[in-house]
Amino acid sequence: MLSYMSYLLRVVLPDRPGTLGAVATALGAAGIDIVSVTVVERTASGAVDDLLVMLPPGGLADRAMSAAQSVPGVVVESLRPFLADGGGVASDLDLVDALTDRPLDAAATLTELAPGVFNADWAVLLEHVGAGDVRVRETSVGAPTLGGDDLGVPERVRLPLPWLPLDRARRIGPDEGTFPPRWKAVSMELAAAPVGCDRLVILIGRPGGPAFRASEVDRLAHLAGIAASLSRTGRP
């Protein structure tokens, strides 16, 4: 039995009243339902929204792009399958609540739940122990192995990561390390933020894009700062 497929459609909307409604109408006419709308960024010229859409059985993803872009001024930035459930956490506020509930494990909780908040596929918490020595402290569901040594505890990362230590949250480019070849093939987008210090860093990955926008990087930095603060104050 065929089932509905979920996709994440990121659109850039012009600053014109009724544009989002027009997009919803166009998608509906194509048999595509909008499940949720998340405002990613607002600018002087408009807004960037993430639309979680459901395609009917046998529906082609290209129909969603064509329908959205049929509205004048609308640009589709990306369309990708939506697979992660994020542990039931879908907003920054939900994540902060989860961090507050588990202050001693705040960094681990951040790593576990951040993918759901940022519509990413995975997250890892890395610790830069010393020159050439990076360890994996925590991973989310679906996190890739980073060329690690299975005998190491915590697992040692074998891939060069020259951007560590990291003093501020930012996007990580594809040329900033020797990443797995598959990452380039799937257009992996990366963002990272320090968690309390420049040697403990959360890295999140989003295959197929879209690229992390400045507002998303700022949110990641804010949430990482909250996790670090709770970890310190939650200690007995």
The residues pairing with 7 across neighbouring beta strands, listed in sequence order, are 53, 81
- At 27-81, the pLDDT tens digits run 999 999 999 898 899 888 899 999 999 888 766 788 899 999 999 999 999 998 8
CA 222/CA 163 separation, integer angstroms: 20
Report the topology of domain 5-81: Alpha-Beta Plaits (3.30.70)
- What is the Rg, in whole angstroms, of the alpha carbon atoms belonging to the chain? 19
Confidence band for 3, pLDDT divided at 50, 70 and 90: low
Instruction: For residues 149 and 157, give the distance between their C-alpha atoms in angstroms, rounded to a whole number.
Output: 7
Question: Could you tell me which of 62, 12, 10, 20 has the C-alpha nearest to residue 189?
Answer: 10
* 226 membership: H or E segment, kind and range: helix 214-233
User: What confidence category does residue 163 fall into, taking pLDDT thresholds of 50, 70 and 90?
Assistant: very high
Q: Which of 6, 40, 37 minimizes the C-alpha distance to 21?
A: 37
Q: How confident is the model at residue 87 (pLDDT cuts 50, 70, 90)?
A: low
**What are the extents of the domains in the chain?**
5-81, 86-233
At residue 82, what is the residue type?
F
Quote the CA–CA distance of 26 and 69 in Å, as a whole number.
9
Counting runs of H as helices and runs of E as strands, what totals does the chain give? 6, 10
DSSP string, 63-88: HHHHHHHTSTT-EEEEEEE----GGG
Cβ 134 vs Cβ 164: under 8 Å: yes
Q: CB neighbours of 109 closer than 8 A, spacing ≥ 6?
A: 98, 99, 102, 227
**How many residues comprise the chain?**
236
pLDDT tens digits, 117-159: 998 999 999 999 988 788 999 999 888 887 665 555 568 787 7
Check residue 220 and give its pLDDT: 96
Contacts 24+ apart (CB under 8 A), 25-34: 26/67, 26/68, 26/70, 26/71, 27/51, 27/53, 27/64, 27/67, 27/68, 29/67, 30/63, 30/64, 30/66, 30/67, 31/55, 31/56, 31/59, 31/63, 32/56, 32/59, 32/63, 32/64, 32/67
> 86-233: which CATH number, 3.30.450.40, 3.30.1330.100, 3.40.640.10, 1.10.10.10?
3.30.450.40
